[in-house]
Amino acid sequence: MTTNHNGEEATATYTCPTCEEAVERNLLVFLRHTDQHIIETLKALHPEWVEADGESPAVLDFYRAQLGHDPW
């Protein structure tokens, strides 16, 4: 745990290099974890989208289209 200059608990942040918006690092971990669950669920629902090597560009394209942006 870290503290800020006032002795209060400080939350580690990540600053996006594109938009320069700061978000809590633990939120980033949560979002990546959630993204992976959604992708795995889409693969299970649409096995025809999964290629022989396990990759699935169709799932990622669908997911990105639903979000309106690239989640990574």
Sign for the CA dihedral angle at 35, 37, 39, 42 comes to: negative
**46 vs 23: which has the higher pLDDT:** 46
Contact 42, 63 (CB under 8 A): yes
Domain limits of the chain?
25-72
Q: What span, in angstroms and rounded, lies between the C-alpha atoms of 68 and 61? A: 10
Q: What span, in angstroms and rounded, lies between the C-alpha atoms of 8 and 2? A: 8
For residues 12-34, give the mean pLDDT. 76
Sign for the CA dihedral angle at 6, 9, 11, 12 comes to: positive
Q: Structure tokens of 29? A: 């971990």
Greatest mean pLDDT range, 2-6, 11-15, 30-34, 62-66: 62-66
pLDDT in tens, 49-59: 999 998 899 98
